[in-house]
Chains A and B, each alone.
Chain A
Amino acid sequence: MSSSVHGTFVSEKINKIRWRPDPFDNSHYFITGSVDNDVNHIKLWDFHENQEEDDIYPFLVSTFPYCGDVTEIQFLNADYFVTSSSSGSMAKIRLYENDIATVGEDGTINLLTAQSQNAVRTIANADSSSIHCVIFLKHNEILTSNLRGQMKVWDLRSSSDKPQSTFMLSGDQVTPTSLTYHPTQRHLIIAGDDLGALTTWDLRQNTYPVNVLNAHEGAISEVQFHSDYPDHLFSCSYSGEIWHWSAKTDAVPLIGIENNETNVWLTSDDVKSKLEVFTLMPTLGKPINTLDLNRNKVICGCDNEAIYLINGITI
């Protein structure tokens, strides 16, 4: 099945887009958050499939005005999601079940839970540079990355306001712009950066990258593994590219993706030869800020004030 692209102009730049989780894994609802508007919005959309015309278009279900730029959206469950805003000094969030970690330009880490209005814990001045990304490694461990490319692991049980360990993305002060972990092997971390490269670590081994892939022309705005098919990775960039990375079938045995030996992302040499890259859309020429996946559907939001659905991705 070949993929098809459906674009819709939405009159605002989309900074974050997220499928609503669906118990049957067949989402058609999604949320967008905008940026650079006088009044930004959080919008809930529903994709209508028109069988006759073979067309799919998003139908606006509901709109909320939003103060500041929407910097992150994460679903807690099918009915609740959390968002972060640039008005509370640019912030990003990550979830672990109901635990929420937020980081921001003020270099502060806040830990929240969905049940409480107040921060459970605040690490003020955790970083002297702006923190741009955060992910949970375990329920009590987070990884942050700052403007200078310093990656810091924080043990949340520790009362110290110092990171447990620090390592660098590269020696060249490049900023990681998106962090993600492997769906089944959480110690495998991939960072997309300012210069369009993807760097992989195996945090069990050490903090030296396993491999570095020079990928996009511009900064990588978001990178995500396919949650059901971890051999597939998706990335989008400021240069308007959206790519689908997949392990070449001959490089990976059909069974045993849990087997570390065969995890293609952990190949240290010549990883590029083991991967295939597909361009999902013709290059836009304007940054693609965000993407999200659901089964064989990818949605992305862009600076040309449009959202795109790419349907029927070959997995």
Chain B
Amino acid sequence: MFEAQELSVEHKDLIHDVAYDFYGHRMATCSSDQYVKVWDQNSDGRWTLTYSWKAHSGSVWKVTWAHPEFGQVLATCSFDRTAAVWEEIIGETPGPGERGTRHWVRRTNLVDSRTSVTDVKFGPKTQGLQLATCSAEGIIRIYEAPDVMNLSQWTLQHEVQCKLPCSCLSWNPSLSKMHPQMLAVGSDDSNTANGGKVFIYEYSENSRRWTKLETISSITEPVHDIAFSPNLGRSFHVLAVATKDVRIINLTPIDDEQTLQSGVTKLDVQTAAQFEDHNSLVWRVCWNITGTILASSGDDGCVRMFKMNYINSWKPVAVLKGDGTQGNADSQRSSAISSIGNQIVPPSQTASLHLHVFSENNAPAMSQPIKIVNAPHHQFDLFTRICESFNNSV
């Protein structure tokens, strides 16, 4: 059974991306309405909007958080051909225990692209503060903030020509400084005759260049999203690809003589799984924290989850889909108003959601009331009571 919390994000158009900070307590959303919004979860579990600003002059495609070691930092990219880095500024604290005013300022605007910037991602924190962007013109750009404490200075370190329009990129999130940095880039070029649409790049410390290690030739259809899995102690890298289906690719570095001599990694590329469950184009892929479950979304309007079992084979485990025809009626809404402990939950804060179970062969669906938990409000007057009792009798 699931518990769900609904949060209206107040954008004027569809959102293109939702990103959570390292701890999962902050959320950033971006939309075609050109706005970026930052939401914070209170200690009682409630999400509130803390800042909203017009970030670009075109659709904002992606938003992503930097590691908290670098402070509260976001990067965005947009149709307006730019990518930007944003930092939160906390004003003077008005008093003990109170929060200072917060706002976000643009630290840098990266204007090198001549076309829509389609993806932006911070590099692994072991390598300092790096940012990769890719664009429709087929160029991958690696920026670096040489002084990690100064976010207003970014230098364009590398420009890598990809030849095909780029739609998405992913850093290999290796936890070790030992591994060379690795990037995967996907192209949504629709001409299958142009060959493979996923490219693997590696940074060589010796030549100080990014070089293409591999083109995954088995994927010639347009690629819409790509994601390296967090590494749960494996000797190989796992890459999820959203194309006409969901692909899971294992990339195993080969340690042979040749590799050692050339200093360039050679990869053994294996397709670990291929799922056509969406029966349509796949738009997004996303790994959970431990890299054990992959969530994909596709043109069938569904989110599908895949999990690796104990003998290392991938299996579909869950399907989620949107349905506005059932549930969510006002009658149910009111029925969910209840008193929790000693507080009454205000009606507007509560919504009852029915998550309906369905089966794909159109068997009658069983309705499953889902608990909508907008965490109760805790305002305890304990201190007051203690103080009062002191005043009365001490």
Is any CB of A less than 8 Å from a CB of B in the complex? yes
Query: How large, as a class, is the contact surface on chain A?
Result: 20 to 34
- Chain B 373-394 against A: per-residue CB contact (8 Å), 1 yes, 0 no? 0010011101000110111001
Asked whether, in the complex, the Cβ of B380 is within 8 Å of the Cβ of A65, the reply is yes
B→A interface (CB under 8 Å) = 43-45, 96-97, 341-342, 375, 378-380, 382, 386-387, 389-391, 394
A67 contacts B96, C-beta separation under 8 Å: no
A74 to B263, CA, bound (A): 64
Please report whether the interface of chain B is mostly helix, strand, loop or mixed according to DSSP: loop
* List of A residues within 8 angstroms of B375 by Cβ: 38
A-B contact pairs, 6 of them (CB 8 A): A67-B379, A82-B386, A88-B96, A88-B97, A115-B390, A117-B391
Among candidates A39, A64, A108, A114, residue contacting B394 with C-beta atoms closer than 8 Å:
A114
| Distance (whole angstroms) from the CB of A70 to the closest CB of chain B | 11
A279 at the interface (CB under 8 A from B): no
Closest chain B residue, CB of each to CB of A88: B97
Does A114 contact B390, Cβ atoms closer than 8 Å?
yes
Smallest distance from the beta carbon of A110 to chain B beta carbons, Å? 9
A87–B96 Cα distance when bound, in Å, is: 10
Contact yes or no, A89 B96, CB < 8 A: yes
A39-B378 contact given A65-B341, A98-B394, A114-B394, CB 8 Å threshold: yes
Interface string of A59-71 (1 = CB under 8 A from B): 0000011111000
On whether the beta carbons of B394 and A66 are closer than 8 Å, the reply is: no
Which residues on the B side are within 8 Å of A115 (C-beta)?
Answer: 390-391, 394
- How many angstroms from the CA of A114 to the CA of B392 in the assembled complex? 11
Evaluate contact between B97 and A87: CB separation under 8 angstroms. Answer: yes
Counting CB contacts under 8 A, is A80 at the interface?
A: yes
Q: Is the CB of B97 within 8 A of A80?
A: no
Are the C-beta atoms of A38 and B387 separated by less than 8 Å? Answer: no
Contacts of A114 in B (CB 8 A): 390, 394
Measured CA separation A117–B386 after assembly (Å): 10
Contacts of B390 in A (CB 8 A): 80, 114-115
Nearest A residue to B384 via CB reads A117
The docked-state distance in angstroms from the alpha carbon of A98 to that of B390 is 11
Interface string of A83-108 (1 = CB under 8 A from B): 10001110000000010000000101
In the complex, the answer to whether A80 meets B378 with C-beta atoms within 8 Å is no
User: Chain B contacts of A106 at CB under 8 A?
Assistant: 96
- Are the CB atoms of B380 and A66 closer together than 8 Å? yes
Interface string of A32-67 (1 = CB under 8 A from B): 000000110010000000000000000000001111
CB <8 Å contact, A117 and B387: yes
CB contacts (< 8 Å) of B342 on chain A: these are: 65
- Residues of A contacting B386 in the complex (Cβ-Cβ under 8 angstroms): 82-83
- B382 partner, pick from A66, A88, A108, beta carbons under 8 A: A66
**Closest chain A CB from B34 CB (angstroms):** 37
Q: Which of chain B's residues have a CB closer than 8 A to the CB of A88?
A: 96-97
Q: How long is the Cα–Cα vector from A108 to B380 in the complex, in angstroms?
A: 24
| B380: chain A residues within 8 A (beta carbon) | 64-67
- Check B378 against A65 for contact (C-beta < 8 Å): yes
Q: How far, in whole Å, are A55 and B152 apart by their CA atoms in the complex?
A: 67
The answer to whether B45 and A80 have CB atoms under 8 Å apart is no
In Å, the complex CA distance between A68 and B390 comes to: 22
| With A38-B45, A88-B96, A117-B387: A65-B382 Cβ-Cβ less than 8 Å | yes
CB distance from A92 to the nearest CB of B (A): 15
Contacts of B378 in A (CB 8 A): 39, 65, 67
Cα distance A115–B45 in the bound complex, in angstroms: 35
Q: Which residue on chain A has the smallest CB distance to residue B382? A: A64
How long is the Cα–Cα vector from A64 to B384 in the complex, in angstroms? 13
Distance between Cα atoms of A89 and B96 in the complex (Å): 8
Q: Is the CB of A89 within 8 A of B97?
A: yes
Question: A64 to chain B: which residues have CB within 8 Å?
Answer: 380, 382
List 18 additional A-B contacts (Cβ < 8 Å) besides A106-B96, A114-B390. Answer: A38-B45, A38-B375, A39-B378, A64-B380, A64-B382, A66-B380, A67-B382, A68-B43, A76-B394, A80-B389, A82-B386, A83-B386, A87-B97, A89-B97, A98-B394, A108-B96, A115-B390, A117-B391
A88 to B97, CA, bound (A): 5
Q: Which 10 A-B pairs have the closest CB atoms?
A: A67-B380, A88-B97, A117-B387, A114-B394, A65-B380, A114-B390, A64-B382, A115-B394, A39-B378, A106-B96
Name the distance in Å between A247's Cβ and chain B's nearest Cβ: 39
Q: What residues of chain B lie closer than 8 Å to A66, measured between beta carbons?
A: 380, 382
How far, in whole Å, are A80 and B393 apart by their CA atoms in the complex?
Answer: 10
A88 to chain B, nearest CB (A): 5
Q: Mark A121-133, 1 if CB is under 8 A from B, else 0.
A: 0000000000000
Q: Which residue of B lies closest to A106 (CB)?
A: B96
Residues on A with C-beta less than 8 A from B382 are 42, 64-67
Q: Which residues of A contact B391 (CB under 8 A)?
A: 115, 117
Q: Smallest CB-CB separation from B93: which chain A residue?
A: A106
- With most chain A CB atoms within 10 A of its CB, the pick from B379, B390, B391 is B390
Give the CA-CA distance A67 to B394 in the complex, in Å.
Answer: 24
Q: Give the docked Cα–Cα distance between A38 and B382 (Å).
A: 16
Instruction: Give the Cβ gap from B375 to chain A, nearest Cβ, in Å.
Output: 7
| Closest A residue, CB atoms, query B381 | A67
Distance between B342 CB and nearest chain A CB, rounded to angstroms: 8
